[in-house]
A and B are shown apart, each in its own frame.
Chain A
Amino acid sequence: MSILGNRVLRREDPKFLTVGGTYVDDLALPGSVHVTFVRSSMAHARIVSVDSTNVQAMPGVIAVYTNDDLGLAKFPTVMGMTNEAMAPSMLASGTVRYVGEPIAAIVAESREIAEDALEQVVVEYDPLNVVIDPVRARTDEDLLFPDAGTNTSFSLDFGGDETLFDDCDVVVELELVNQRVAPCPLEVRSAAAHMSEDGRLEFNSSTQAPHGVRDALATFLGLEPDQVHVVTPDVGGGFGAKAAVYPEDIVVGWCALKLGRSVRWTETRSESMLGLGHGRAQVQHVRIGGTREGVVQAYRIEVLQDSGAYAGFGTVLPFMTRVMTSGPYKIPKAECASVSVVTNSTPTTAYRGAGRPEATAAIERIMDVFAREIEMDPAELRRRNLIGKDDFPYTTPVETLYDVGDYHRALDLALEVAGYDELRAEQARRRAAGDVRQLGIGLSCYVEITNGLPDGEFGAVEVRPDGKVIVRTGTSPHGQGHVTAWSMLVAEQLGVAIEDIEVVHGDTDIVPRGAGTMGSRSLQIGGAAVNQAAVDVVEKAKDLAAGLLEADREDIVLNKAKGNFHVVGTPAVSRSWAELAAAAAKDGNPLFAEVDLASPGPTFPFGTHISVVEVDTETGKVNLLRHIAVDDAGRIISPLLAEGQVHGGIAQGVAQALLEEVVYDLEGNPLTSTLADYSFISAAELPSYETRFTETPTPVNALGAKGIGESGTIGSTPAVHNAVCDAVAHLGVRHIDMPTTPIRVWNAINDAATGDGSAKGGR
C-alpha cells in the first residue's frame, strides 16, 4: 500500500505546537549588536542633510552609516528587463522616494539604545512633488528619476490588433483596480550575521531562498560564494515577499564585516508594513466581446502596474499576468499589453500568485459583466467557453501551452457541491421580497501557472549505517510542510518509516545548491528531485545487495513493506538498508545519490471556486456565508498539506476581495501601517470551507503533480468579488472595486439608486 495520497500528519507540528519554532530573532547570539534603520518620513524629497551628531555621542551607539559610507553597488535590474536608472541603492542616496525608505543604519549595543538613537537623528528634507497614483505617474508630469526621463519602468506590448473586436455582436469593457496589499507574514524580516573564526560570513536569514541570499551577499560584499554560509532557521511565512533580498539584509552583512562583531536586525511590524514588498497593485482595463449566444470571441487586457518607488520584482509582474491572459477559456483572439510605472510608495514584489491572480481577477470579473449584458447565467457562460478536456495540450493566443485539464469537471463539481440552483432560487426569493440582506453568488473558473521559472532543483538522499535516511533539498520551506511531503516521497521509494527520515534544508553548507521555495514550484521540481534521488539510491542499493547476496542484480528486489532487499523468490535471505549502508561505508562510498533536476517546464493547475455572500444593503457590510473550492493540482501526494494550502490561500484571497488594502494619502503618507488599520483577516471573518480535489495528473513531471500553493488565492478572490457584485447587481450596480468594504458597497448601492449608472463605489 502506498503512503502517497494519505493524510499523514505534519511531522513539523509537534515542535510548533509545544516548544515553538526557532526564528532568527530567537537565536541566542551572545555579544551581538543591533542594527536599526532611520527611515524616511517623506514620500518624495531631496535629502538636504542627515545629522547624527547627537547620536554618535550616545552611550552604547557604535556607529551610524549612510549610503556613502557603505560604498556598495546598486541593485541590478530584474532579469535584465527593468529600467536600470530605477534600481535602488542600499540606503537612500540623495533622494528618498517612499515613506519607510532606509536612509541610515544605526548600530548599537542594544535594541533599545538603537531605537532611542533613531529619534535623535535629524534628517532635513527638501520636499518634491509626490506621485502616488499610477495613472498620474504614467503622465510623466512629475518624475521620480529625472535622469530616466520617464516614470515607465517596464512595458510589454503584444498585439494591438485594431480589428480584435470587429466580429463581436456584444462588447463590454471595465476598468478595475487590483489593489495594493501587504503580504503580512507573521514573522517580519530578520537577519543576523557574524564572521566565523575561519573568516567566513555566517548569515541567518528569514528568507524563502537561502542560496539566493548567499549569492547576493557574496556579490555585493565582494566575497566568493563559499565564503558565505547562510542558514535559515524556522521561517514564519513569506508569501513571495521573502523571495527577494532586501537592502537591509546586505547592510547587516556589511556591518558584520566592517565591525567584526555579531550583528542582528529584526524589523518592527510597523516597519514591515512599509519595508517588506507589497503585492498586486494593478489598474486594469479589460474588454471582452462575443455573441449574444455566449460565445466569447475576443479579449484584451491593458495593465498598469504600480512598481512602487523602484523597479524591483513588482515591475515585471505583468509578465505573469500576460502569460495567463485568456484564463481557462477558448478565446480565439486575446491580447495583453502592460506598462509599469514607479510611484512614491513601497516597492511591489511577488505576493502569493504574483501576476496570475491579477489575470484571473480581470477575466473572471468581466465574464460576469458580459453574462449580465447578454442575460445569461454566469455558470452557463463559463461552461460554453471553457477549454474542453480533449483540447489539451492547448496553446492560448498569447502562446502559453497548457499541459492538461478537465475544466468542465471542476465547474460541474463546484456547482453540485454548492447546490447552485437552490442558491439562485433563494437569491430570487430575497430579491422579490426586497430583503435588507441580499444574497450574492460568485463564480471563478481559473487556471494558473506553477513552476513558471526555468530553475531546476537539487535533491539528495543518503542512507546511513544506522538505517537513518538523510534527505537534502534545495527548496526552503517556511510553513509548507516539505519535511512531511519529502519524507512521504522517500518512504514510498525506499520502504522505510518516515520517522527514520530526516529532511535537511536551509543551510547552504549542507545543501550545496537550491533555488528555494516560491511560485508553487517545490513539489513538482524539488520534491521530484528528491524522489529521483531516492530512486537512484534504490538502484545503488540493488548493486550492493547483488554483491552481498551473490546474485544477479536483475534478480534483486526491494521489499518495501519490510525495507529490505532479497533475491526474487527467496525473501528469507535479505539485507536491510542499514546493512547495505554499512557495507557501502566499509567500502568508503556512502549509500548516497544526488540529483540536479532540470525543470521539465511549468504546469497549469485549475479549478472552480464558488462563493456565497450576504450583503446588508443598508450598511454595505458583506458577510461571507460559504466558500466552495474545487481545485485540481494533478496528483495529490499529501491531501492534508494540499488542503492546508487551499485553506490558507482562500483566507488571503477572501481578504483581498473583502478587506485588505494598503492606503496612502495624496502626500504619500501610509494610512495602514499597523494591523489595527490594515485589515488582515482573522478566523472570525471566515466560514468553514467546502473543499474538493479533482485529480488530473500532469504528464510534465514524474509525480504527475502540479503546484497548489497559490491556487487558493487565485481562485477565491474573484469568486468572492463576483459574489458581492452579484448580490447588488439587481439594484443597478455594475461593478465595485476591491476591497468591497462597507463604505464602498454602500456607496455603489447609493450611487445606483441616485441614477449614477457608472457607479463603482469609490470612497
Chain B
Amino acid sequence: MIPASFDYVRVGSADEAIGLLSEHGEDAKLLAGGHSLLPLMKLRLAQPSLLVDIGPLREFSYVTDEEDYLAVGALTRHHDIAVSPLTLSSVPLLAHVAGQIGDPQVRHRGTIGGSICHGDPASDLPAVLLALGATFVARGPNGQREIDAKDFFVSFFEVALKPDELLVEIRVPRPSDARWGFEKLTKRAQDWAIVGAVAVRSASGVGVGLINMGPVPLRSGAVEAAVLSGANAAEAAQFAAEGTEPSADFNGSVAYRQHVARVLVRRALEKAGV
C-alpha cells in the first residue's frame, strides 16, 4: 500500500501536460481524480516514473450546451455531472449513471475523462457513452482530433489515445425524445457491476451498451438490430449475450453473466419504452 517512488509534476496548462507526455512517453501517467490509478500504484501494479497531475486544469471541468451535443469537460467530476441542471435536463441518463458510480467519495474525486481513459470494461460510463453514441476529443502536440466512442476502447484496459494525447472533452448527443433504462447488478452499492446494461431509444435509433461483458465495454449490435426490426424488449434481449466474452470469477460464471445480461437488457429496454 506504499507506491514505488515516482516524480510528480503539477501542471499549469494542457500544453505543459502534453509536452511532458511527449517527453516521457509510456513512463508518464496522467493523474486526474486518482481513483483508478492510485490504488494500482499502491498495490505496485502500476509503477509510473512520472505522475503528471492535471488536477489544476479546472478549465476542463464543465458541462455546457452546444448546438448538437452536450459538452462535458474531461476533468468534470462524477458528482458534478450527476447534479448539473444541464445534464439532468438534456441527458438525464448520464446524470443518473454518474450518480451511481462507486460511493460519494469516489464521485467527488473521480472524473469522467479518467474513467474513460482507464478503459475498465467494468466501469459504467464507457458503456453508457457507447450507447449514447458519444464522441471524445483528444488533444496532442499537433492539435485536436475527434474519436468516436465505438473506436475508442481498443482492448483490455487499452484505449485509442496516443501516449502524448490528452482527452479534453466528451460530446454527448441529446436527442430530445430519448427514453432510457440503466440496470446494474452489484453485490454492494459501491461495487463495480457484475453485469450492467444500458438502453437508449429515440427517433434517431437505439443504443444498447453492456458493462463487464468482455475485455472492453460493449455495444450490443445484435440487440439493437432486433429492436430496429421490431422485436419487443423480451425478444430483443435474447440476443444480449451474442458476441460477449465475460470473465468468470467468484461473482459469476460466464453462463451466469450472460443470463444476467439478457435479464438486464430486457429491463433496460422496457424502461426505454421498447
Contacts and interface: CB of A to CB of B under 8 A. Distances in A.
Contacts of B190: 682, 684
Contacts of B263: 618-619
Interface string B52-63: 000000000000
A270 interface: yes
B43 interface: yes
Size range of the chain B interface in the assembly: 20 to 34
A682 B189 contact: yes
A756 to B, nearest CB: 15
B194 interface: yes
A684 B191 CA distance: 11
Nearest to B248: A763
Contacts of B185: 619, 621, 742
A747 to B, nearest CB: 7
Interface string A638-674: 0000000000000000000001000100000001001
Interface stretch (B25-33, B137-145, B239-247, B252-260): B252-260
A681 interface: yes
A268 B2 contact: yes
Contacts of B253: 743, 763
A112 B2 contact: yes
Nearest to B4: A116
A115 interface: yes
Contact of B256 (A269, A679, A747): A747
Nearest to A118: B2
A270 B40 CA distance: 13
B253 to A, nearest CB: 7
A383 interface: no
Contacts of B259: 746
Given A659-B187, A679-B188, A746-B256, A270 B5 contact: no
A743 B1 contact: no
Contacts of A208: none
Given A111-B2, A112-B5, A763-B250, A741 B187 contact: yes
Contacts of A659: 187-188
Nearest to A271: B1
Nearest to A663: B250
B106 to A, nearest CB: 11
Interface string B167-198: 00000000000000000010111111010000
Interface in B188-211: 188-192, 194
Interface residues of A, number: 27
Given A618-B263, A619-B263, A743-B251, A269 B1 contact: yes
A113 to B, nearest CB: 10
Contacts of A270: 1, 43
A22 to B, nearest CB: 21
B189 to A, nearest CB: 4
A743 B256 contact: yes
Contacts of A685: 188-189
B141 to A, nearest CB: 34
Interface in B59-114: 103
B266 to A, nearest CB: 9
B162 interface: no
Given A741-B251, A743-B253, A747-B256, A681 B1 contact: no
A268 B251 contact: no
A618 B189 CA distance: 19
B189 A619 contact: no
A119 interface: yes
A682 B188 contact: yes
Interface string A733-756: 000000001110011000000000
B24 interface: no
Contacts of B5: 112, 116
Interface string B2-35: 1011000000000000000000000000000000
Nearest to B189: A684
Contacts of A621: 185
Interface of B: 1-2, 4-5, 39, 43-44, 103, 185, 187-192, 194, 249-253, 256, 259-260, 263-264
Given A619-B264, A681-B188, 14 more contacts: A112-B2, A268-B1, A270-B43, A619-B260, A621-B185, A682-B188, A684-B190, A742-B194, A743-B194, A743-B251, A743-B252, A746-B256, A746-B259, A763-B253
30 contacts: A111-B2, A112-B2, A116-B4, A268-B1, A269-B1, A270-B1, A618-B263, A619-B185, A619-B260, A621-B185, A659-B187, A671-B250, A676-B39, A679-B187, A681-B188, A682-B103, A682-B188, A684-B103, A684-B188, A684-B190, A741-B187, A741-B251, A742-B187, A742-B194, A742-B252, A743-B252, A743-B253, A743-B256, A746-B256, A747-B256
